[in-house]
């Protein structure tokens, strides 16, 4: 399990659990609960590259980032921590 502190979003933390490059689970703390549960469910079972390709760069309103974009950063940080 890897915990990532988000920056610039309503969610404040994302926990990700990877099995190699496959996402086992995602949990957001804070933010829009229903939407983030949906994103977490859709990410489960996908590879990090698949999720990053779909979500990286998404913005929330005028903010330069979003919860989905922060998830991509959390996934890459988790990979780095695993040495993948």
Which structural domains are found in the chain, ordered by start?
2-82 (3.30.390)
Q: Is beta strand 2-5 parallel, antiparallel or unpaired with respect to 22-30? A: unpaired
Handedness of CA 15, 20, 22, 24 (dihedral sign): negative
**In the predicted model, what is the mean pLDDT of residues 44-61?**
97
Per-chain mean pLDDT for the chain: 96
The whole-number pLDDT of residue 56 equals 98
Q: What is the pTM of this model?
A: 0.94
Question: Which of the four pLDDT bands, split at 50, 70 and 90, describes residue 40?
Answer: very high
């Amino acid at each position: 399990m890897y915990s990532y502190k988000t920056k610039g979003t309503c969610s404040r933390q994302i926990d990700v659990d990877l099995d190699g490059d496959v996402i086992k689970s995602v949990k957001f703390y804070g933010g829009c609960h229903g939407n983030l549960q949906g994103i977490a469910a859709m990410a489960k079972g996908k590879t990090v590259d698949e999720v990053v390709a779909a979500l990286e760069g998404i913005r929330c309103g005028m903010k330069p980032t979003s919860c989905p974009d922060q998830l991509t950063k959390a996934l890459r940080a988790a990979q780095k921590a695993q040495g993948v």
